[in-house]
Chain A
Amino acid sequence: MRTEDLIQALAADTPRVPPHMAERRVFAGLLLGAAGTFVLVALALGLRGDLPGSLMQGHFLMKWAYSLSLGVIAIVAVLRAARPDSPPWRSAWLRALPFALLLAGSALELAVAPADHRMAMLMGHSNWQCMAGVSLLSLPIFAGLAWAFRRLAPTRLRTAGAALGLTAGAASATLYALHCDEVTATFVVTWYTLGILLSGLVGTLAGPRLLRW
């Protein structure tokens, strides 16, 4: 096809693209995927019996503060990865801040606990289920975000995949918390984090193939 003809054909189909379309698409993909994950949590795992009253309990707020703050940071990384001309991110150290805070909380909690309780606080009663649940339940959200990227232009595919995976993991952890009845910061900083990192790893590996254009 002659390039001049290609241009005619392309320009003939020029739909309106409203401002901030990249952000809109990413949030649409995130919400669609999260809706799917929520349904899975509710049907396959079951929501906690004490909702919505337990939403204001300390351990629940701790989980959400952690996963939501990670999610916000990961979303910022996703939005940067969506554009080919994003400048480098100068305050990258911020990304580890929620983890550092919760780790401090966990250390405090372990320090005041009796020594023979510590192992139980770390392992809880649903450790591998938590890690596997968070990472598996992130897949619908990851798919939603990958769909959003079909009209966007990431240039560093590995980084973009990692950002997508971490966002999906953090969102998935937020929803998994509606099922989870573990209460210690030590449990959350270990198993939630592992689940989210596993999602990030999957995204990193899938990025170069999945996001290529």
Chain B
Amino acid sequence: MALSGVQRRTSEDQLKAWMVRGLDGDAAAQNALLTALLPLLRSFFARRLRGAGDDVEDLVQETLIAIHTRRASYDRDRPFTAWAYAVARYKMIDHFRRTKQTVPFEDLADILVAEGYQDAASAKLDVDALLEGVSAKQAEAIRRTKIDGQSVAEAAEAQGISEADVKVSVHRGLKALAARLKGK
């Protein structure tokens, strides 16, 4: 983890599995769950509080306590992260109310919108299914430049092809996808 420098988000499936085992009384799973939630909650609150350090950590702790003590409000048939972020969002709004802080209107969407785990997960499935319809090279070029946000140069280097080839692949691939979507 230290090598890559990028902390991967723990998946919904993993978090939910820990949650359910915690509900069944497994303290180790509960520990793993809360520990995995820690970086997620820190970034959730840091983004919305613009890094007011103490407040962020207070809210993280309050949210962890709420997630632990109000587990009965979680329905095992529903996604876990949506529930956890709903708790965090409540704590966020409660914090603003308590401190009588007003929130700039343009930031409201940020606060109210969930972290989009579920949306991201189902969107990823859609993209995967779509990209299977074009050649592997085109799919990879599209994925790198349009989804992962790499530059053409980075994608070219990673794929071991020329920049022109990347551009052409993306262009043709997207055209093929558009044609397929229209055909549907």
Q: Which residues of A contact B (CB under 8 A)?
A: 1, 3-4, 6-8, 10-19, 21-22, 25, 82-85, 151-153, 155, 212-213
Contact = CB atoms under 8 A, between A and B. Distances in A.
B60 interface: yes
Given A10-B64, A212-B94, A83 B83 contact: yes
B86 A155 contact: yes
Nearest to A10: B68
B65 interface: yes
Interface string B73-84: 111101100110
Contact of B34 (A10, A18, A152): A10
A84 B72 contact: no
A151 B89 CA distance: 18
A82 B66 CA distance: 14
A7 B34 contact: yes
Interface in B129-182: none
Interface stretch (B5-13, B20-28, B99-107, B119-127): B20-28
Contacts of A152: 70, 72-73
B31 A155 contact: no
19 contacts: A3-B64, A6-B61, A7-B38, A10-B30, A10-B65, A11-B31, A14-B26, A14-B27, A16-B25, A17-B23, A17-B71, A25-B72, A83-B74, A84-B87, A153-B87, A155-B89, A212-B94, A213-B66, A213-B70
A20 to B, nearest CB: 8
A6 B64 CA distance: 9
B57 interface: yes
Interface of B: 22-28, 30-31, 34-35, 38, 57, 60-61, 64-66, 68-76, 78-79, 82-83, 86-87, 89-90, 94
Contacts of A84: 73, 83, 86-87, 89-90
Contacts of B24: 16
Contacts of B73: 22, 82-84, 151-153
Contacts of A14: 22, 25-27, 30, 68
A46 to B, nearest CB: 38
Contacts of B72: 17, 21-22, 25, 151-152
B90 A11 contact: no
B61 A3 contact: yes
Contacts, number: 88
Contacts of A3: 38, 57, 60-61, 64
Contacts of B34: 7, 10-11
A19 B22 CA distance: 12
B94 A85 contact: no
Contacts of A151: 69-70, 72-73
A42 B89 CA distance: 45
A22 B78 CA distance: 14
A14 B70 CA distance: 12
A114 B66 CA distance: 61
A209 B123 CA distance: 40
Contacts of A19: 23, 76
Contacts of A7: 31, 34-35, 38, 64
B75 A83 contact: yes
A6 B70 CA distance: 16
A14 B65 CA distance: 12
